[in-house]
Amino acid sequence: MKRSEINAALRWAEALLEGANIRLPRFAYWSMDEWRAHRDELATIRTVMQGWDITDFGSGDFNRIGAVLFTVRNGSLTAPGVGSPYAEKYILLREGQRLPNHYHASKTEDIINRNGGVMSMRLYNKRPDGSVDTDSDVAVWSDGLRLTLKPGEELLVTRGNSVRLTPYMYHIFGAKRGEGDLIVGEVSAVNDDNTDNYFAEPVSRFAAIEEDEPIFHPLCNEYDKLWND
């Protein structure tokens, strides 16, 4: 992705959240000069990767497969006591945009329609060989209610409702076309995006960045590059 595309997505995300009366932690809005001024205070933020995360998952088609994410709080699986004992994110999706099909081996997560359009979700079990099970029904909990779905059946999640995704459950979700942009919340166990994403599509977790304009806000996966001690 070009840095200009990332910067435009950041400005779009800030406006979408502001329109929903949602404010992020103070560091979400820091300029690069403010980040530099606070560089000696960033140990926890850097370790648990709080902050902005914009990716096209290597698809080259951000408007189709991609997302703007912000990790509000998180902990560390390798440094106990650092950060929080759980994680929380916002996932911001343009109408028609989705995440690739993937599962987590460690993380249980509640995916919540916080505001905006309708979330479209498709779920699958994982076969023992790691492939997507397109035959067996999927049992899933939604706000205390147990649902049984056919593999890949569209589940529409309206505002205020959520779905609990457990380890080894393949999932795809996005903003249903025709229903507007979407603000998704994620509340989960401690999250490590470097090690706990397993994709069924030929994608990568973080985007390669082409620098064509100055950084508006840094992304959580580039802190060490920018402020390497």
Please give the Cα distance from 67 to 6 (Å, whole number).
10
Tell me what pLDDT residue 102 has: 97
User: Which of 25, 60, 73, 86 is closest to 217 using CA atoms?
Assistant: 25
Tens-place pLDDT, residues 106-159? 999 999 999 999 999 999 999 999 999 999 999 999 999 999 999 999 999 999
Cα(120)–Cα(108) distance, rounded to whole angstroms? 19
Tell whether the model's pLDDT for residue 229 goes beyond 60.
no
**Alpha-helical segments (H) within 49-205:** none
pTM of the complete model beyond 0.75: yes
**CB-based contact 23:14 (threshold 8 Å):** no
Q: Which domains does the chain have, with CATH numbers?
A: 3-226 (2.60.120.10)
Q: What is the mean pLDDT of the chain?
A: 96
Mean pLDDT (whole number) for 161-176: 98
Confidence class for position 169, pLDDT limits 50, 70, 90 = very high
pLDDT on residue 2: 96
pLDDT of residue 7: 98
What is the pLDDT confidence band of residue 228, given thresholds at 50, 70 and 90? confident
